[in-house]
Chains A and B, each alone.
Chain A
Amino acid sequence: MKKETIIETIFLLAFIGTMFWIGIADSWGHKIQHDFPYSYLASDTFQHQTRAQWIKDTGNYKYEAPYYSAGYTNIVGFYPPILLHLSVLFSHISGLEVYDTILFITVFFAITGSLIFYNIISCWNKQIAILSMPLMTYIFTIREARVAFYWGHWPALLGDFFLVACLWMLINLQKKHSGIILGILLAATTLAHTAATIFTVLFILIFFAIAVLRKKLEKKQLKNIIIAFTVLLILTAYFLILFKQTWMVVFPFTFQIWTDWTGGGGFITLQSFGTYTLLIMALGMFFIIFSKNQNNFFQKLIALFSLGAGFTNYIGFSNRAFNFRFYWPILLSVLFGTGIYKIAKKVINNLTTFKSAAISLAVIAILINYNYTPTGKIDGLMNQYTWQTLNWIKDNTENDAKIFFFYGDSYDQDGSLGNTHRRNTRVEIIDLSQTLQNKKIEKEYPTKELIESGTELPYREGMFTYARVIAENKNVTGRKIRDVCSFDYYVFDKSGRYPVLVQFNQIIANTFAQHNFTIVFDNPLSIVLKNQQHGGQCFGANNTITL
């Protein structure tokens, strides 16, 4: 093995190890296997996890689980499936739980994405590729990028990963069978996060338009791209028909300018990189744009395209532009690498692979020291007692049992409740605060059932036609006033961030206990009561509990 190759391999291993460390190992307490979902910080994470678990339990993704589909058993599996399937397959082989594998592979693919991009830059200049790596660490250090991993923007991250793979394939389009492989990778973007396909196709169109203008389009490349689009259409036809009749109907394209994304946890801006890093990137941009070198056409195009695509939130691409920005630390890294390279060349005459690797590792160390605060173990929204309660419900209640959750710290992010594998409804905390002022709670109360109603619960009407439950029956909705006494089991937490609300829980639980309710489960955090008189007067004769 050549000395250069050995140095490069050691450098890449150090990079991979660092990325795993800051990406997930630190927050996972340096363990891969956990007793419950770890570092899950938002409802969306649980939404993906429970859906993947459902696929694991049923063995396929023909239908959605009835327990998050308002009890309907014929709701067709409508979500982009590839991440869910990969995490289930990984779980089957490794023996790890789906809640561990789904986050692990998302991080693993992000690290692989950076290595693929390293390859793309290497095709032009190995030294610049090595010096680009420090910027890639930002994918785990910029707060808004970290949010993508811990708040569950996993499908978007996977879509971006396949987008990078498509870029690699484009640069290698003269290779044997590259059209077929590009088509498969494009199909993967569609089945991971459909918005990523739009950006990839846009890039391909621009790439070819410029190639035509420069009179550099080869016949073989054109042939391969036609093959790629044919393969894409064949592999995604089934899903795209479903997509067109569900997602595109409920969320039609509207020209919306987005400048904020609080719901998504914020978004990466150029300022997120910090002033000094930005200056180096600007320097790199200057050299890349004004370089007469023809070998870096592709890398130059990617950098400019990525920058532009990230700002499409101003031309109607809404939060999809922010999804694309998750991968900015990787896609813009060539700018940083070029900047550092130009500075290093001024100081060091003979910039070898060894010297570049040493500089790169030093910069990585500085950036991580500056940008990354060791998190230590992040349990997230789940804890062992809540997990125990949810699993007890799953294992011990009737399949059609309806569960009601009173106040608990994590129940507001209700995606986690899907782990009961039962239909779940929770009290609306905002209204509970109102109750605090009125000092009484009524039997008919504002509640929210966990329903994955994003595409209005589509079901198959014909061979290739779908109808939507919610479009036909507006009464099927998560949020509404329900009879609190009409549930089978009730979960009360005994401690929480808001002691007053915990006190409410105690008063209500005591009232229930006087009306034929029995305690069926108890642990240090929660109790579960069983309603023996379904739909009865659980609140007493006045249907009101005075607090």
Chain B
Amino acid sequence: MEQTTQSHSNKEVKAILASFVILAILLKIVFYKETTIIVLKTVATISWLFVLPGYFISKIWQQDLNFTERLIICIPISAAIIGISSYYLGLLGLNLRIQSFILPPAIIFITLAKTKLFKLLK
């Protein structure tokens, strides 16, 4: 059982990396006058802010949704959670510069911790 989960996770990591590479190639074609480093930074930022947090959250639906569906719906979910948290954390005094680096991993960590906690409770 654990091995299956492990192999599923490996597949997911590979799929996410593949989508990162494909999006980078696509954007490099469309923005062909832009330097590769800027394109890579843009794609990395999209993944960091708008893909990864929502993708981990949508793990709860991994039985119902395929990879592409999760990849698409994770974007508004990430944007909503990151945007709302950023607004309120800013009001509480946490500078956006710091938020930009800690918010996505914090959301992923909370999601994973919650899932693990649920499993333990069960």
Taking Cβ atoms with an 8 Å cutoff, the residues of A that contact B are 5, 8-9, 12-13, 16-17, 20-21, 25, 28-33, 55-56, 59-62, 81-83, 85-86, 88-90, 92-96, 104, 108-109, 112, 115-116, 118-119, 161-162, 164-165, 168, 172, 175-177, 181, 184-185, 187-188, 191-192, 235, 238-239
Which 9 residue pairs across A and B have the least CB separation, nearest first?
A60-B90, A59-B95, A165-B76, A188-B80, A82-B83, A92-B100, A94-B45, A30-B33, A85-B86
Secondary structure type dominating chain B contacts:
helix
B16 within 8 A of A: no
Q: List 26 A-B contacts (CB under 8 A).
A: A5-B66, A9-B68, A12-B68, A17-B29, A20-B27, A28-B31, A31-B31, A33-B34, A60-B93, A61-B90, A85-B87, A85-B96, A88-B100, A95-B41, A96-B42, A108-B46, A116-B72, A116-B73, A118-B72, A162-B76, A165-B73, A172-B64, A181-B77, A184-B84, A188-B79, A238-B88
Q: Which residues of B contact A104 (CB under 8 A)?
A: 42
Distance in angstroms from A31 CB to nearest chain B CB is: 5
A196 to B9 alpha-carbon distance, docked (Å): 37
Closest CB in chain B relative to A136 CB, distance in Å: 14
* Chain B, Cβ-Cβ closest to A12: B68
**Closest Cβ–Cβ distance, residue A311 to chain B (whole Å):** 26
Say whether B38 faces chain A, with CB atoms less than 8 Å apart: yes
User: CB distance B91 to A175 under 8 Å?
Assistant: no
Q: Which residues of B are interface residues toward A (Cβ below 8 A)? A: 22, 26-27, 29-34, 38-39, 41-42, 44-46, 48-50, 57, 60-61, 64, 66, 68-69, 72-73, 75-77, 79-84, 86-88, 90-91, 93-97, 99-101, 103
- Report Cα–Cα, A453/B46, bound state, in Å: 34
B87 close to A191 (CB less than 8 A): yes
- Out of B41, B61, B72, B84, name the residue touching A115 (CB < 8 Å): B72
Query: CB within 8 A of B87: which of A9, A17, A61, A176?
Result: A61
B33: chain A residues at CB < 8 Å are: 29-31
Contact A235 B84 (CB under 8 A): yes
Is the CB–CB distance between A82 and B22 below 8 Å?
no
Known pairs A85-B82, A86-B82, A161-B76. 4 more at Cβ < 8 A? Answer: A89-B49, A162-B80, A184-B81, A188-B76
In the bound complex, residues from chain A placing their C-beta under 8 Å from that of B87 are 61, 81-82, 85, 191, 239
Residues of A within 8 A of B57 (CB): 181
Inter-chain contact A119/B72, CB cutoff 8 Å:
yes
Chain A nearest Cβ from B56, distance in angstroms: 13
Q: A30-B33, A32-B39, A60-B91 are in contact. Are A191 and B84 (CB under 8 A)?
A: yes
> Does A184 contact B80, Cβ atoms closer than 8 Å?
yes
Whether B97 and A86, one on each chain, are in contact in the complex, defined by CB atoms closer than 8 angstroms, is: no
Q: How far in angstroms is the closest Cβ of chain B from A365?
A: 16
